[in-house]
Structure 1
Amino acid sequence: METAERTALGVTDPLRLFLEHSEGCDAIQRRIIEVQSHPDKSKHLRLIPTPEAARLLRISESHLRGLIRQDGWPEGTVVGAGNRRAFTLAEVNEIRRRLFAATGDARYRVGRDRARGEKLVTVTVANFKGGAAKTTHSVHLAQYLALQGYRVLLIDLDSQASATSMFGLVPDEDFDRLDTLYRLFTLDEGSRTASLADLARPTYWDGLDIVPANLGLYSTEFEVPVRQMRQRELRFWRVLADALPSIDDRYDVVVCDCPPSLSYLSINAVMAANLLLVPIPPSMLDFSSAGRFFRMVHETLETLAAAEGGRVKQFDAVRLLVTKYQTSDANQTQLVKWMGAVFADTLMTNRMALTTGLDNAGNMKQSYYELEASDVNRRTYERGLDYLNSVNAEIESVVHDIWGRSGGEGAR
């Protein structure tokens, strides 16, 4: 490839320079994935050791060992001396299904109970400021729910496609823009599809699919206003919500990772949500930005209500999550106390602390749930895992409340 002509102070062909840098970033990202995913150049979820599998299943290790000795039950893989075994997530989920079928105990239920009217829950993770850990928590929430046996769809609505990249994909090489949510919004009726199910791609996590994003998704922001002018009846703010029924029979929970802006895509994700989750780092700048976020959401919902005959968008729950919390920072501690006084029940009890382990996982292009305990200091690893699991378990309990489950029923 030709290189952009450069001068002492800059470049004479910036278009070529930016294209070079874009392609260079893709090449480096591909190389990272190949190194980490040797030998077959695709990411895999680590095997789950017996003690961890037993905790996920809520049974004792001895009970699990007894089960796998029975005919037809997943046996796992021998991974060390003494016949120590580990399991794939698919095997853990199969054991869950068999336990539920054998006992009828709600603790082993995999996913929602449609017979009781438990509906598809859409969790939208949104904040219009970058750096609030939206993508980090969207990915970890989706993976946590998958570990608990739920069927999850993660929708990447950010053209930067960080969530997509976390699953070992190179967005602008692996996908066309018609592989993204752009396909629901495009002006071209021949390319448009009414089925969100067509866009869902399986990941290497059992039970977790993704609707990917790439740079082409940003074209949505230009096409929607033009389409609205041509189709006066189009409710552009409900395109995603109207597409959700096509996946209702396939998933228990949908997680939407929003871009850091008030965009057509963000508005759609908010309007599709049962549960709106707003991550807020405890700093004055982030807190000020969050105030503007709530003001903009208020004004947007008010405007859309007028367009819908006065019908205001309703949520089953709204939660604020403190992220990037530095437990030793007295100023942050004070700010969190003020947040608790102001936001009361809306503020989540658990907070996501800033940990070395979480940073290390991101640097290795892995989620925290994909790390081996040996990848970081064990004490640091367990501390970060405790924070992450506590936050996600609290969100899971909100999902159970939306389903109307009684206290403790099916709790993990």
Structure 2
Amino acid sequence: MDTIKKLKAGKTTGADLMHLAKLSDGMLQKIRDEMLEPFPRKVPPIVSSARLQEMCGIDKQRMGYVLKKGELPAGTQAKPGSPRQFTVEETIAWIRSERNPLPRNGPAKVIVVANFKGGVTKTTTSTLLAQGLSMRRGRRVLHIDLDPQGSASTLYGINPHAEVDSSQTVMPLIEAYLEGKPFDMTALPVPTYWPNVDIIPSSTELFNAEFMLPARAASDGEVRFEQVLHDGLAQLKDTYDYIIVDTAPTLSYLTINAIFAADGVIVPVVPDMLSFASMVQFWHLFGDLINGMQAFDDGRAKEFDFVDVLVTRMTSKPAAQILQGWITQIYGSRVVPIEIPESDLARNTNMRFSTFYDLGPNDVGAETLRRIRTPVDQLVDRVDDKVCAIWAQEE
């Protein structure tokens, strides 16, 4: 790999910055290739028979009975009598048959994971939701990466800087909308390595939207710049059960679009003082945005099915416990009664471009994996149960 060029007279030029970008791209690609060996792309994990039984809510006897009937995938065994292992796709077939989740009763629900502060696990949370809703509930999920940094895309094994151009992101929708032209949104989603999860990836070219949207709105007051994503997603809501949107850690024009497209919002927060202080600003900005656009939009109010607060990276430290108490006291029933703990395992999975759900029975001890994955399972189930109740009310 090239070495960094010497800078002249201590000055840094645009050419130097582009050279650093090239070096970074090369290193990221090298790291990704080494992490994913021997596969050119990420592959879904193997699911143990015990894990499958837990997700389906069945015991060993029931599994044996179903296997004898031969109506569901039998998985594989290393040798006769050894525990069975299943692919995620096979697991989904079992979930749909044995757990029999309630069918979608209405258009897909758009869930946005947002906070205007970085480091609160927005991307990890949105990816775990997409993976979990697919595997645990058999849902069809579209994951949209609206962060120009492309972290969600990276978790799917995609290098957003080297492998994604603007035509594969939501940029064509934005360009067509601002030009008053129709656009076929069904052309954008692409399959991921994870069964039942598609993605509209991101790239740094999404930054262009932050100039295009306000410029067009300034020149034409009739342009509804905040409704671009909302209107575009209408074409996809009969194809998917859920549309999960990952946002940038800022109140950008893309984040505004995500919020106005959302049916529900999940706000991750870390129990430390800086994150807590940032949350105060978040609610002010969030409220001002919704109320301001309502006044601009002839009094039509934006409403959400839910806005929930999720405590993440929770520790047993006294300061974290105090902050968690404040969060619960202030936000009450909006606080999800599940805490996602901080752990070395979480940090290690991020280093591998992975999530907890990417880990299989051969990657980490069963008890360690169960302990860290249980609250995530509970979050996924709670979200789906809540949405099913909303669908029932909308009949």
TM-score norm. by structure 1 comes to 0.88
Structure 1 distance, partners of 2:295, 2:178, is 28
Deviations 1:94-137 (A, max 9, x none): 3344x37xxxxxx413x6333xxx33211111111111111111
Of 269, 272, 278, 1:280 maps to: 269
Q: Can you give the 5+ residue segments of structure 2 that lack an aligned partner in the other structure?
A: none
Deviations 1:310-359 (A, max 9, x none): 11110111101111111x21121112112212211111111111011111
2:387 is equivalent to residue 399 of structure 1: yes
Q: Can you give the 5+ residue segments of structure 1 that lack an aligned partner in the other structure?
A: 101-106, 406-412
TM-aligned CA distance change 1:233 to 1:13, over 3 Å:
same
Q: CA RMSD in A?
A: 2.5
Retained in 2: the 8 A contact 1:47–1:88? yes
2:285 is equivalent to residue 296 of structure 1: yes
Matched residue type, 2:327 = M
Matched residue type, 2:48 = P
Partner of 1:91: 90
TM-aligned CA distance change 1:79 to 1:271, over 3 Å:
farther
SS in 1 for 2:238: coil
2:341 is equivalent to residue 342 of structure 1: no
Structure 2 distance, partners of 1:43, 1:171, is 15
Partner of 1:410: none
RCO greater where, 1 or 2, for CA within 8 Å and sep 6 or more? 2
- Note the C-alpha offset of 1:85: 2.1
Partner of 1:103: none
Corresponding residue pairs, total:
393
Structure 1 distance, partners of 2:380, 2:187, is 28
TM-aligned CA distance change 1:188 to 1:349, over 3 Å:
closer
Retained in 2: the 8 A contact 1:186–1:224? no
Of 167, 177, 184, 2:166 maps to: 177
- The range that moved more, 35-44 or 360-369, is 35-44
- The range that moved more, 236-245 or 54-63, is 54-63
Structure 2 distance, partners of 1:368, 1:56, is 15
Partner of 1:163: 152
Structure 1 distance, partners of 2:219, 2:94, is 53
- Note the C-alpha offset of 1:254: 1.0
Matched residue type, 1:108 = N
SS in 1 for 2:341: coil
Of 73, 80, 104, 1:113 maps to: 104
Retained in 2: the 8 A contact 1:278–1:321? yes
Partner of 1:37: 36
Matched residue type, 1:145 = L
2:233 is equivalent to residue 255 of structure 1: no
Retained in 1: the 8 A contact 2:270–2:314? yes
Deviations 1:224-253 (A, max 9, x none): 122224544321111111112211121111
Deviations 1:9-56 (A, max 9, x none): 74x453233222222222222223322333341110012121112222
- The range that moved more, 161-170 or 232-241, is 232-241
Partner of 1:6: 6
Partner of 2:183: 194
Matched residue type, 1:113 = R
Retained in 1: the 8 A contact 2:107–2:238? no
Structure 2 distance, partners of 1:19, 1:191, is 35
Structure 1 distance, partners of 2:157, 2:334, is 35
- Note the C-alpha offset of 1:366: 1.1
Retained in 2: the 8 A contact 1:228–1:236? yes
Q: How does 1:9-408 map to 2 (within 5 A)?
A: 10=10, 12=11, 14-71=13-70, 73-80=72-79, 82-97=81-96, 99=97, 107-109=99-101, 112-114=103-105, 118-148=106-136, 149-186=138-175, 194-326=183-315, 328-404=316-392
SS in 2 for 1:142: helix
- The range that moved more, 299-308 or 187-196, is 187-196
SS in 1 for 2:81: helix
Structure 1 distance, partners of 2:292, 2:150, is 29
- The range that moved more, 80-89 or 347-356, is 80-89
Retained in 2: the 8 A contact 1:187–1:223? no
Structure 2 distance, partners of 1:71, 1:309, is 60
- The range that moved more, 248-257 or 69-78, is 69-78
- Note the C-alpha offset of 1:169: 0.6
- Note the C-alpha offset of 1:360: 1.2
Structure 2 distance, partners of 1:128, 1:136, is 15
- The range that moved more, 182-191 or 214-223, is 182-191
Q: Sequence identity of aligned pairs in percent?
A: 29
Structure 1 distance, partners of 2:324, 2:267, is 14
Retained in 2: the 8 A contact 1:139–1:163? yes
- Note the C-alpha offset of 1:177: 0.9
SS in 2 for 1:350: strand
